Amino acid sequence: MKRIGVLTSGGDSPGMNAAIRAVVRKAIFHGLEVYGISYGYAGLINGEIKKMELGSVGDIIHRGGTVLYTARCEEFKTLEGQKKGIEQLKKFGIEGLVVIGGDGSYRGAQKLSEHGFPTIGVPGTIDNDIPGTDFTIGFDTALNTVIDAIDKIRDTATSHERTYVIEVMGRHAGDLALWSGLADGAETIIVPEADYEMSDIIARLKRGQERGKKHSIIIVAEGVGSGFDFGNRIKEEINLETRVTVLGHIQRGGSPSGFDRVLASRLGAKAVDLLLEGKAGVTVGIEKNELVYHDIDEALARKHSIDMEMYKLSQQLSI
């Protein structure tokens, strides 16, 4: 293999740049040429492809977002779109591809591999919802952004003696809600992976009120529903001054944490190693702090879930 490509696709996440840097530098270290494909699969189809040098990834390790930009591309879900993509890769003499993105992007990578084009998936999403890795690139940074926001909301919640419902991202996964809720001592954490009873939430709020608690923080994962709906239901059932905050896209931005920079560097470099070893159709990940890889098919067939022990702990600590 002489020449490889790299692209970022789907939702961006902090640390994608560190992963791009690792792919480019590790490839050049091993004497390969690297081409950057802008705007994910859309740029692949349109041939938005440029050679990257050591300097093209200088000064980006600390930046959020992705210097290769990202996009969603419906056309790539079709066989015709995938064929166009492979034609472009051939035209540029690219023999292997690293795709940094979420599970949708993995499905694109899976298709390329099925068509015989060696592709490796690197997990980049704040949602931490990709099977085959304990952590995805961007999760830790987003977690710290959420914690910082909740700490600030807590100040005003205490001053005004209010109940706050905070809706956090995570798509169908509750990881960001669970981790931030545990880290912030939230009274209630509502995640898609666990059933909940509104009556329990109300009872807990009442107990807190009777104990003279100054505020309550309720974290709702977006996968469960709207934070505003929760706020309204609480207001209907208990006479508490309730406010709702939807944290939104603030969670996707910002300078990546040390953890995410290191994770992205390790996973990006591992993807290049795997291409050099002749592996294809696999995803890289980290499990128990060891770098691992799995078949994309196998990874996509697994179901992601939160750590239920951690969920139970969060409930025990917020009695």
**Chain contacts with ligand ADP (rule: CB under 6 A):** 9-11, 41, 72-73, 76-77, 101-105, 107-108, 111, 125
- Known catalytic residue at 155: no
Indicate which residue of 127, 140, 175, 184 is catalytic. 127
Quote the least distance from Cβ 125 to ligand ADP, whole Å: 5
Report whether 9 contacts 105 (CB < 8 A). yes
Edge-first strand listing for the sheet containing 188-190: 188-190, 216-221, 163-168, 242-246
125 vs 314, beta carbon nearer ligand ADP? 125
Nearer to ligand ADP, 120 or 186 (CB): 120
Q: Is 214 annotated as a binding residue?
A: yes
Name the one residue in this structure whose structure tokens are 């910082």: 148
162 known ligand binder: yes
Q: Using an 8 Å Cβ cutoff, are 122 and 271 in contact?
A: yes
**Burial of 35 (C-beta count, 10 Å sphere; 0-12/13-18/19+):** buried
Q: Known binder of ligand: residue 171?
A: yes
Q: Give me the least distance between CB of 101 and ligand ADP, in Å please.
A: 4
Smallest distance, ligand ADP to C-beta of residue 39, A:
10
Q: How far is the CB of 169 from ligand ADP (least distance, A)?
A: 12
Q: Give the CA radius of gyration of the chain.
A: 22
Nearer to ligand ADP, 41 or 179 (CB): 41
CB-nearer residue toward ligand ADP: 168 or 182: 168
Contact (Cβ atoms closer than 8 angstroms) between residue 37 and residue 48: yes
Distance in angstroms (rounded) separating the CA atoms of residues 294 and 95:
20
211 is annotated as contributing to ligand binding: yes
| Local structure of 36: helix, strand or coil | strand
Catalytic residue numbers, as ranges: 127
